[in-house]
Structure 1
Amino acid sequence: MRKHQLYKVLFFLLIIVLIDRSLGLMVSKLALKYKFDRRIELLINNQIDKDILVLGSSKALNGIDPQIIENKTGKSCYNLSYSGSNIEFHETILDLIILSKNHPSTLIYCIDDPGSLIKFDGIVVYRKEELYPFVYNNEINNIVSQKLDKSILASKISSVYHQNVNLVTAIKYLLRGKEVPDYEINNVDNYGANIMIGHQAKHENMKFVNRKFVYDTKYENDEYRNAFTRILAKCKGNNINVKLIITPSFVSSTIGFRDRISELSKDTLLVYDYSNQFTNNELFYNYEHLNKNGATKFTSLIADELNL
Structure 2
Amino acid sequence: MKKIILRLILGLVIITLLDFVIGSTLKHFYFKQDSGFQYRTTHSLNYAEDKIMIFGSSRANHHYDPKVFESKLKMSSYNTGRDGTYFFYQTALLKTILKRHQPKVIVYDFFGSFEYSQSDYDRLASLLPYYEEHEEIQEVLELKGPFEKFKTFSKIYPYNSLLFNIIMGNMEFNKEKNSDFQGYVPLSEVWNNPIQPLKIANAYKFDSNKLKAFQEFIALCKRNEIKLFVVVSPVFYEYESDVSITTCQKICLEQNIPFYDFTKNDEFLKKPEWYADVLHLNQNGAKEFSGILADSLKANVAYLK
In 2: Cα distance, 1:57 partner to 1:118 partner: 17
Partner of 2:157: 164
Give the secondary structure class of the aligned counterpart of 1:249.
coil
Aligned pairs for 1:11-50 (under 5 A) are 22-33=21-32, 36-37=36-37, 38-45=39-46, 47-50=47-50
- Trace 1:134-153 onto structure 2 (pairs within 5 A): 134-139=130-135, 140=137, 143-144=140-141, 147-150=144-147, 152=149
User: Which residue in 2 is equivalent to 1:207?
Assistant: 194
Aligned AA (1:296): K
Superposed, 1:151-190 pairs within 5 Å as 152=149, 155=152, 161-170=154-163, 178=171, 187=178, 189-190=180-181
Paired letter, 2:241: I
Cα RMSD between the aligned structures?
A: 3.5
Residue 173 to residue 256, structure 1, CA distance change in 2 (3 Å): closer
The residue that corresponds to 1:58 in the other structure is 58
Give aligned-pair identity as a percent.
22
Query: Contact conserved, 2:59 with 2:233, CA < 8 A, in 1?
Result: yes
Query: How big is the shift at 1:18?
Result: 7.5
Structure 1 segment 82-93 matched on structure 2, within 5 A: 82-93=82-93
Name the SS of the counterpart of 2:144 in structure 1: helix
Q: Secondary structure at the match of 1:244?
A: strand
Q: Shift in Å at residue 275 of structure 1? A: 0.9
Q: Distance in 2 between matches of 1:260 and 1:171?
A: 39
Q: What CA distance in whole angstroms lies between the structure 1 residues aligned with 2:165 and 2:294?
A: 41
Checking the alignment, whether the CA contact within 8 Å between 1:36 and 1:179 is kept in structure 2 is no
Q: 1:125 to 1:182 in 2, by over 3 A?
A: farther
CA contact (8 A) 1:56 1:109 kept: yes
1:272-298 deviation digits (Å, cap 9, x = unpaired)? 111122121001111111011110110
1:111 aligns with 2:110: yes
Aligned to 2:295: 304
1:234 is aligned to 2:220: yes
Structure-2 change in CA distance of 1:14 and 1:142 (3 Å): farther
> Is residue 2:75 matched to residue 1:75?
yes
Q: Distance in 2 between matches of 1:300 and 1:108?
A: 14
Deviations 1:46-98 (A, max 9, x none): x2111110011111111111111001110111111111212122111122222
Structure 1 residue matching 2:279: 3-state secondary structure: coil
- Give the Cα separation in 1 of the matches to 2:48 and 2:118: 31
What residue identity is the alignment partner of 1:91? Answer: T
Distance 1:135 1:211, change over 3 A: closer
Structure 2 distance, partners of 1:120, 1:18, is: 37
Q: 1:271 to 1:206 in 2, by over 3 A?
A: same
Query: Which SS does the other structure have where 1:268 is aligned?
Result: coil
In 1, Cα distance between equivalents of 2:200 and 2:211: 20
TM-score by length of 1: 0.76
Query: 1:95-136 deviations in whole A, cap 9, x for unaligned?
Result: 22222x111111101112xx24235665x6653343233344
TM-score scaled by length of structure 2: 0.77
Q: Distance in 2 between matches of 1:60 and 1:208?
A: 22
Q: Which of 269, 283, 292 is the equivalent residue of 1:292?
A: 283
Q: Distance in 2 between matches of 1:128 and 1:251?
A: 29
Counterpart-to-counterpart distance in 2, 1:229 and 1:57 = 17
Which structure dedicates a bigger proportion of its chain to helix? 2
For 1:108 and 1:247, locate their aligned partners in 2 and report how far apart those are by CA, in whole Å: 11
Contact 1:173–1:179 (Cα < 8 Å) also in 2: no
- Measured in 2, the distance between the counterparts of 1:213 and 1:135 equals 35
Pick closer, same or farther for the CA change 1:126–1:170 going to 2, 3 Å: closer
Q: Could you say which residue in structure 1 is the equivalent of 2:126?
A: 130
Equivalents in 2 of 1:214, 1:151: separation in Å? Answer: 32
Q: Which moved more, 1:248-257 or 1:231-240?
A: 248-257
- Number of aligned residues: 280
Greater displacement, 223-232 / 145-154: 145-154
Matches within 5 A, 1:261-300: 261-265=248-252, 266=254, 268-277=256-265, 278-279=268-269, 280-300=271-291
How many Å apart are 1:245 and its aligned residue?
A: 0.5
> Once the 2 structures are TM-superposed, how far is the Cα of residue 222 of structure 1 from its aligned partner?
2.4
Q: Using a 3 Å threshold, how does the CA distance of structure 1 residues 16 and 246 change in structure 2: closer, same or farther?
A: closer
**Kept in 2: contact 1:91–1:227 (CA 8 A):** yes
